Structure 1
Amino acid sequence: MAVTTDNYKATKPDSKMPLIELRGVSKSFGSNVILDRVNLRVEQGEALVIIGPSGTGKSTILRMIAGLLPIDEGSIYINGQKRNGLIEDQDDPIGISMVFQQAALFDSLTVEQNVGFSLYQHSNLSRRKIKDLVDEKLEMVGLTGTGNRFPSELSGGMRKRVSFARAIMSNPENPKSRPEIILYDEPTAGLDPIASTVIEDLVRDLQCTKRGCGTYIMVSHQDSTIRRTADRVVFLYGGKIQWQGTVAEIDSTDNPLVRQFFSASIEGPIRVID
């Protein structure tokens, strides 16, 4: 499901500071330490992909940045402003949208109603205006003419694209509602290679267009998605960032974790879970 945090009062991002910064962030579930004093900066206009084995806290980081999950220790700064609590506890200074691994559309609503959901619920725009905005967003994701269809009538790749359209929806009468960063949780999971390529191209297209969103953080396991959508790659394992670099550096690094991950070898420092 794509969730936009509609209750913020956004301000123009400050180019002199990171859009997102994690300082010494820790998170545990019971006795299981997921993140251990993690530091991370995301600059305006950056395409960051977080990788690593399953269960290492990648999606947890996205949910904490979105303000949907509390941190145990440390601090999260959104455009220089320290967040206190969850998103409902404090207005973020910039807009953040999140696209979950499963599109999680409302099955009983049409595509138009799904994409325009936040505007129908939280704006005074006319239904005609909202429909026009929905049509614009559907055109941007290559789904012109699908507004009257239901999620059950769409392929997996099409449902993902509907969730993208919903993530970039904003109220033109409130420019501050436009998201400045999108969080993608495994956007190509479960898709065939061709559908994955469509989604990968769409992610980049939405970053480049003025009507899209210029900054994103993505979690992915898929080799093609990582290589085609990342400016910078961060490898998370054992609760810490173990390596970071460009896509080009993936094949030249001697980091044993990265080497094992991309070779899909069961031999190496990454523990194999039966």
Structure 2
Amino acid sequence: MLSFSASLLPPPSLYCDGSSSDRSIVTTSFRRKLFCCCIATKSDNLSKSGGAISKENDSDVLIECRDVYKSFGEKHILKGVSFKIRHGEAVGVIGPSGTGKSTILKIMAGLLAPDKGEVYIRGQKRAGLISDEEISGLRIGLVFQSAALFDSLNVRENVGFLLYESSKMSEDHISELVTQTLAAVGLKGVENRLPSELSGGMKKRVALARSLIFDTTKEVIEPEVLLYDEPTAGLDPIASTVVEDLIRSVHMTGEEDTLGKPGKIASYLVVTHQHSTIQRAVDRLLFLYEGKIVWQGMTYEFTTSTNPIVQQFATGSLDGPIRY
């Protein structure tokens, strides 16, 4: 599920990068009317037998992974990952390359099913992958590392793709909404440009706008959860700062966006290697190493942790338990 909302959501949408594995997902997704670049799914594919999580102090838990395992052939990626994402949180997932950070994002979003373990969405156990059945509940948005814009479509068509395809809104209404959403991420007057005419940082912001847009004609607009996979990868320090500040600004507990309006994202999770993103965009950290969470704490504890794995990662030292 991508994007929070209590009941009514647009049909599933999917945004992905250009890797071969993601292309196969996109091909399947289009057949099922999922749309490339950000996922918006609902919770009807949650198992009734899973039931609700009964702990009262977990009433604010939006997504929970319990002892999740995932392998690809003989390669064991996740080896028992457990954590919770609560309402209002800004969480970062860090760790060495190849340790399963992107994999856990795809499992949370419903693109991959765990081999073992369980994923709960608002206390209900998810059964299987994303389906194109009508679902309601939490909306989860997944923004992949690549902006994954459609090269043949202009910015307006890219951002409004889901609404053009599946909503009953008029083209004029969608166009107006696209313009407002682009302005919210600091982009104005770019609606008619093609992706090839945009800088890397602008493409990232267009992708973010596409993950934020929603059908305003729905009676109930759910709050959203966004999952970001390396949102500042490949950007220079200034462009990274712009994106990091935008991630904060659309968070409902953060600052106002560029239009002076409060953010709409209830919680988000960021996979990153960038120290600037760790410091500017998240409050709590999960350290994933060799398929397990080996440390978690607040961002301000990151550089002072006595955990040798965290110390090595924070300092970039060649000496330590992490080997390349």
TM-score (norm 2): 0.79
Query: Could you say which residue in structure 2 is the equivalent of 1:137?
Result: 181
Query: Could you say which residue in structure 2 is the equivalent of 1:48?
Result: 91
Query: Could you say which residue in structure 2 is the equivalent of 1:219?
Result: 271
Aligned amino acid, residue 34 of structure 1: I
- Measure how far apart 1:6 and its partner are: 4.9
Return 5+ residue gaps in structure 1 as ranges: none
1:223/1:199 Cα in 2 relative to 1: closer, same or farther (>3 Å)?
same
Report Cα offsets for 1:110-131 as digits up to 9, x if no partner: 1000000000011010000000
Which of 53, 71, 77 is matched with 1:34 structurally? 77
Query: Could you say which residue in structure 2 is the equivalent of 1:153?
Result: 197
Once residues 174 and 232 of structure 1 are traced to their aligned partners in structure 2, the CA distance between those partners, rounded to angstroms, is 33
Once residues 107 and 6 of structure 1 are traced to their aligned partners in structure 2, the CA distance between those partners, rounded to angstroms, is 25
Q: Do structure 1's residue 162 and structure 2's residue 206 form an aligned pair? A: yes
Once residues 193 and 82 of structure 1 are traced to their aligned partners in structure 2, the CA distance between those partners, rounded to angstroms, is 40
Q: How many residues align?
A: 269
Q: Do structure 1's residue 247 and structure 2's residue 299 form an aligned pair? A: yes
After TM superposition, the runs of 4+ consecutive aligned structure 1 residues lying more than 3 A away are: 6-10, 89-92, 175-179
Aligned amino acid, residue 117 of structure 1: F
Once residues 4 and 133 of structure 1 are traced to their aligned partners in structure 2, the CA distance between those partners, rounded to angstroms, is 19
Query: Could you say which residue in structure 1 is the equivalent of 2:100?
Result: 57
Once residues 9 and 225 of structure 1 are traced to their aligned partners in structure 2, the CA distance between those partners, rounded to angstroms, is 34
Q: Do structure 1's residue 119 and structure 2's residue 171 form an aligned pair? A: no
Conservation of the 8 A alpha-carbon contact between 2:63 and 2:119: yes
Aligned amino acid, residue 135 of structure 1: T
Aligned positions of 1:80-119 closer than 5 A: 80-88=123-131, 91=135, 93-119=137-163
Q: Do structure 1's residue 3 and structure 2's residue 46 form an aligned pair? A: no
- Measure how far apart 1:169 and its partner are: 0.7
Which of 230, 238, 241 is matched with 1:186 structurally? 230
Query: Could you say which residue in structure 1 is the equivalent of 2:287?
Result: 235
1:22 match: secondary structure: strand
Once residues 172 and 9 of structure 1 are traced to their aligned partners in structure 2, the CA distance between those partners, rounded to angstroms, is 21
Conservation of the 8 A alpha-carbon contact between 1:9 and 1:94: no
- Measure how far apart 1:214 and its partner are: 2.4
Conservation of the 8 A alpha-carbon contact between 1:188 and 1:196: yes
- Measure how far apart 1:212 and its partner are: 2.7
- Measure how far apart 1:17 and its partner are: 3.5
Once residues 42 and 65 of structure 2 are traced to their aligned partners in structure 1, the CA distance between those partners, rounded to angstroms, is 22
Conservation of the 8 A alpha-carbon contact between 1:157 and 1:199: yes
Return 5+ residue gaps in structure 2 as ranges: 1-14, 16-36, 46-55, 257-261
Identity rate, percent: 51
Once residues 227 and 211 of structure 1 are traced to their aligned partners in structure 2, the CA distance between those partners, rounded to angstroms, is 20
Query: Could you say which residue in structure 2 is the equivalent of 1:73?
Result: 116
Report Cα offsets for 1:195-216 as digits up to 9, x if no partner: 0000010000011354531210
Once residues 212 and 153 of structure 1 are traced to their aligned partners in structure 2, the CA distance between those partners, rounded to angstroms, is 29
1:234 match: secondary structure: strand
Once residues 163 and 135 of structure 1 are traced to their aligned partners in structure 2, the CA distance between those partners, rounded to angstroms, is 14
Aligned amino acid, residue 167 of structure 1: S
Aligned amino acid, residue 66 of structure 2: R
Aligned amino acid, residue 113 of structure 1: E
Once residues 203 and 124 of structure 1 are traced to their aligned partners in structure 2, the CA distance between those partners, rounded to angstroms, is 29
Aligned amino acid, residue 205 of structure 2: R
Conservation of the 8 A alpha-carbon contact between 1:6 and 1:118: no
Once residues 119 and 9 of structure 1 are traced to their aligned partners in structure 2, the CA distance between those partners, rounded to angstroms, is 21
Once residues 314 and 301 of structure 2 are traced to their aligned partners in structure 1, the CA distance between those partners, rounded to angstroms, is 12
1:227/1:175 Cα in 2 relative to 1: closer, same or farther (>3 Å)?
farther
Conservation of the 8 A alpha-carbon contact between 1:105 and 1:114: yes
TM-score (norm 1): 0.93
Once residues 27 and 117 of structure 1 are traced to their aligned partners in structure 2, the CA distance between those partners, rounded to angstroms, is 32
